Amino acid sequence: QAQVVESGGDLVQAGGSLRLSCAAYGSIFSINAMSWYRQAPGKQRELVAVITSGGMTKYSDLVKGRFTISIDNDKKLAYLQMSSLRPEDTGTYYCVANLDTVVASTKDYWGKGTLVTVSS
């Protein structure tokens, strides 16, 4: 089994920066990819960024050029560096780890989320 835990959410002013962290725990064979999703109040959850264990990345057009996703495979950590934050970036940010574990084949593991609030 595995668990995913996010941290780093906070209240920040528009134009500011924030770094979110995601840690994967458990009997993990390998990390295939890690992703960040977000959900704003009253809206559907949306994909923000994805990174493979090999370092390939993909971003939502809404954050491209402002957010950077990175991964540390050895430490089983992923980060989301957010800059030039806007009020519309407000929401709960979720980390998803696509893992191979001792007891299960490839599976997505979701964290419980961390809240980012951007004030205008």
The pLDDT assigned to 108 comes to: 95
Residue 25 to residue 60: CA distance in whole angstroms: 27
Low-confidence ranges of the chain (pLDDT < 70): none
Mind listing the pLDDT tens digit for each residue in 24-33? 999 998 999 9
The pLDDT assigned to 72 comes to: 95
The pLDDT assigned to 1 comes to: 84
The pLDDT assigned to 105 comes to: 83
